[in-house]
Amino acid sequence: MILLVDESNRSIAEKYLAKPNPFACRILSQLLAYGTGERFLEHWVQLEDNKPRAVISRMDGNITIFCENVNDELLEFIEAVGYNTVFADKELFPQYWSGEVLMKFVRKPETEISDNIDFNPTIREIYSVLERCRGEGFEVPNFDSFYPDMSHRVRHNLSRVLAYRLDGQTIACCMTSAETDNCAIISGVACLPECRGKGYASKLVAKISEALGDRDIFVFCREELVGFYNRLGFMSE
Render pLDDT for 61-106 as a digit per residue (tens, 0 to 9): 999 999 999 999 999 999 999 999 999 999 999 999 999 999 999 9
pLDDT at 112: 66
d(CA 24, CA 67): 8
* % of the chain beyond a pLDDT of 70: 96
Task: Kindly give the residue spans of alpha helices, DSSP state H, lying in the chain.
Answer: 10-17, 22-34, 72-81, 123-132, 143-155, 200-211, 226-231
Alpha-carbon dihedral 48, 18, 176, 230, rounded to 10 degrees: -90
Domain 103-236 homologous superfamily, CATH: Gcn5-related N-acetyltransferase (GNAT) (3.40.630.30)
pLDDT at 85: 95
Q: What would the mean pLDDT of 6-27 be, rounded to a whole number?
A: 98
Cβ–Cβ < 8 Å for 229, 221: yes
d(CA 207, CA 198): 16
Task: Kindly give the residue spans of alpha helices, DSSP state H, lying in 133-179.
Answer: 143-155
pLDDT band at 136 (very low <50, low <70, confident <90, very high): low
Where exactly are the structural domains of the chain? 2-97, 103-236
pLDDT at 123: 97
Element (DSSP H or E) covering residue 65 = strand 62-67
Q: What is the pTM of this model?
A: 0.94
